[in-house]
Amino acid sequence: MSTPELPKLSLPSDVNYIGVFLTFGCNLNCSYCINDPGQAGGRDAMGRTEMAPELWVRALNRLRLPPDLPITLQGGEPTLYGRGLGLGGLLANVDASFDLLTNLALPPGRMKRCLDGQVDKLRRDAPYPSIRVSYHPPEMDRVWGRGIDTLLDRCEALRDLGFRVGPDKRSSDVGIYMVAHPGNLGACEDAARAAAKRVAFETKEFLGLHEGVLHGTYKYPFSIDLVAGGHWPTGLSCQCRTTELLIDPLGFVWPCHHFLYETWMNGGSGEAFDRLSARDFAVDEESLAGLALRPVGHILDPAFTLAALRDWHPCDRYGRCIGCDTKVKNNRFQSLEDAGLAHTSVEIRDIVFPESVLERIPAERSERLRSYGIIAAHTLNA
Ligand code: SF4
Ligand code: SF4
């Protein structure tokens, strides 16, 4: 019996990023891991549970996407999906273009088998590379010797598969990105020198606390350092909604990176997935039992709609948010000039601050945030 086609999913116009976390498996063990921004040692618990390629094909072919919006494959290390052989079939059978966030775990021969000839799906005209390679010293030095040299060689080997590789990010399909960690700025300069004239290279702002200092620019005060920085012992209540479609390795859709990573560092969504797969993924309260945090839905649920991403939902974890969700971003869908406020991946309103924290926000800023409804009119009595 053939599987019935699922209803198509139309993307709300203000959703501008689609991230598919194919696997949380990874070949590296970086001390600063993007999946565990609090560096709480939770990465090992994330496991390698994955959804079968035929389910991903069914799920992703539901999406009606504008031609300039790729599906970004990420993880963990997405090239390890399906034991390093899963990407080719997925790319071949999904009608979309893709970006890939990778640490190039696979040497050239295995990368060739992994992609299985699917080069065009990973190439598109964009002002930045579609294959964004992350450089992680000192972990790559530990594994490969001088890590940046191996990484550059592996980037250039992608030329043999048909990718454009060069130092100009506008014309290269491949670029190296490195977090400018304040404890490792010398390695940034070293890597930039090594990459010059070979592969597009950029540093990314470090987000978070380092030696008690908060790095990054955030639209919402104390959004990532309220608890970690010792300003208040627990998260605060607020309303939140997202502009991103974030799908975990088992197809659950999450409203932010904190919800996604927390769930996977605390056992994952495997039991809920097993219950759902026995009932054609029709989500109800019972099927989500055991999940401490509530997903937006499941991408294979016939009743799921992407409009749900734009619904405001209550959250009591404000202040434990993850930097990539609340940092100020350049984005073509938003402007500082129009709204007087910067764009972020999530929008937050009605944050109930305790008085003692509120008084540490400069008066002019807190007045402005109140006038936009970001800070609740009342404060927490504590
Ligand atoms: S490569 Fe990425 S996912 Fe893997 S351990 Fe390093 S930061 Fe984490
Ligand atoms: S307030 Fe923070 S933790 Fe809560 S849903 Fe929004 S981004 Fe996630």
Q: What angle do CA 44, 47, 53 make, to 5 degrees?
A: 150
Residue 292's domain comprises 12-210+243-312
- Residues 336 and 284 occupy one common structural domain: no
- Residues 191 and 323 occupy one common structural domain: no
The residue with greater pLDDT, 228 or 37, is 228
Residues 6+ apart with CB under 8 A from 335: 343
Residue owning the nearest CA to atom 8 of ligand 1:
33
Element (H, E) at 116: none
Element (H, E) at 140: helix 139-144
- Residues 200 and 219 occupy one common structural domain: no
Residues with CB under 6 A from ligand 2: 238, 240, 255-256, 258-259, 315, 317-318, 320-321, 325, 346, 348
Task: Provide the pLDDT for residue 330.
Answer: 63
- Residues 195 and 326 occupy one common structural domain: no
Domain-ending residue, one of 256, 279, 312: 312
Q: What is the mean pLDDT of residues 327-346?
A: 65
- Residues 199 and 338 occupy one common structural domain: no
- Residues 222 and 197 occupy one common structural domain: no
From the CA of 44, the nearest ligand is: 1
* CA-to-CA dists, residue 121 to 88, 172, 202, 239, 359, angstroms: 10, 15, 24, 37, 51
- Residues 252 and 267 occupy one common structural domain: yes
The verdict on residue 1 lying in a domain is no
Residue owning the nearest CA to atom 3 of ligand 2:
321
Nearest to 353, CA basis, from 364, 343, 361: 361
The verdict on residue 261 lying in a domain is yes
pLDDT at 291 over 50: yes
Q: What is the mean pLDDT of residues 173-186?
A: 92
- Residues 196 and 331 occupy one common structural domain: no
Q: How many CA atoms lie within 13 A of 38 on its CB side?
A: 18
Task: Provide the pLDDT for residue 1.
Answer: 53
C-alpha of residue 241 to centroid of ligand 2, in Å: 8
Give the Cα separation of 208 and 216 in Å (integer). Answer: 7
Give the Cα separation of 11 and 309 in Å (integer). Answer: 9
Cβ atoms of residues 39 and 261 within 8 Å:
no
pLDDT in tens, 53-111: 999 999 999 999 998 899 999 999 999 999 999 999 999 999 999 999 999 999 999 99
Residue owning the nearest CA to atom 8 of ligand 2:
256
Q: Which of 113-127, 154-168, 331-345 has the lowest mean pLDDT?
A: 331-345
pLDDT in tens, 21-45: 999 999 998 888 888 877 777 777 7
- Residues 364 and 306 occupy one common structural domain: no
C-alpha of residue 326 to centroid of ligand 2, in Å: 9
Domain-ending residue, one of 262, 296, 312: 312
Nearest to 159, CA basis, from 201, 216, 199: 199
Residue owning the nearest CA to atom 2 of ligand 2:
321
Residue owning the nearest CA to atom 6 of ligand 2:
240
Task: Provide the pLDDT for residue 354.
Answer: 95
Shortest-distance atom of ligand 2 to CA 256: 8
Q: How confident is the model at residue 242 (pLDDT cuts 50, 70, 90)?
A: very high
The verdict on residue 2 lying in a domain is no
C-alpha of residue 215 to centroid of ligand 2, in Å: 19
Shortest-distance atom of ligand 1 to CA 76: 3
Domain count, the chain: 2
pTM for this predicted structure: 0.95
Helix axes 185-195, 147-157, angle to 10 degrees: 40
Domain-ending residue, one of 312, 331, 361: 312
The separation between the first and the last C-alpha atoms of the chain, rounded to the nearest angstrom, is 60
